[in-house]
Amino acid sequence: MKVLIGTRNPHKLEEIRRILGDIPGIEWLTFREHPFPEVEETGTTLEENARLKAVSTAQATGLPTLAEDSGLEVAALGGAPGVLSSRFAGVEKDYRANNEKLLELLSGEENRRARFRAVAALALPDGRSWLTEGILEGEIATSPRGAHGFGYDPLFIPVGETRTLAELSPEEKDRISHRRRALERLRPLLSSLARGEL
| Site residues, ligand ITT (CB under 6 A) | 7-9, 12, 41, 69-72, 85-86, 93, 98, 116, 149-153, 177, 179
Kindly tell me which of 24 and 37 has the beta carbon lying closer to ligand ITT: 37
Taking the complex as a whole, the smallest distance from the CB of residue 189 to ligand ITT amounts, in Å, to 19
Closest CA to 190 of 17, 11, 10, 7: 17
Query: 54 exposed, middle or buried (CB, 10 Å; 0-12, 13-18, 19+)?
Result: buried
Burial 118-139 (b: 16+ CB within 10 A, else e): bbbbbbbeeeebbbbebebebb
Q: Which of 69, 126, 153, 174 is catalytic?
A: 69
Kindly tell me which of 144 and 151 has the beta carbon lying closer to ligand ITT: 151
Taking the complex as a whole, the smallest distance from the CB of residue 157 to ligand ITT amounts, in Å, to 12
Taking the complex as a whole, the smallest distance from the CB of residue 17 to ligand ITT amounts, in Å, to 14
The residue at minimum Cβ distance from ligand ITT is 151
Told to judge if 69 belongs to the known catalytic residues of this protein, a careful annotator would answer: yes
Rounded Cα–Cα distance for residues 80 and 105 (Å): 11
Taking the complex as a whole, the smallest distance from the CB of residue 75 to ligand ITT amounts, in Å, to 17
Kindly tell me which of 41 and 139 has the beta carbon lying closer to ligand ITT: 41
CB 114 within 8 A of CB 75: yes
Rounded Cα–Cα distance for residues 197 and 65 (Å): 16
Closest CA to 67 of 1, 121, 8: 121
Kindly tell me which of 92 and 126 has the beta carbon lying closer to ligand ITT: 92
Rounded Cα–Cα distance for residues 71 and 65 (Å): 20
Rounded Cα–Cα distance for residues 116 and 134 (Å): 8
Query: Which of the residues are catalytic?
Result: 69
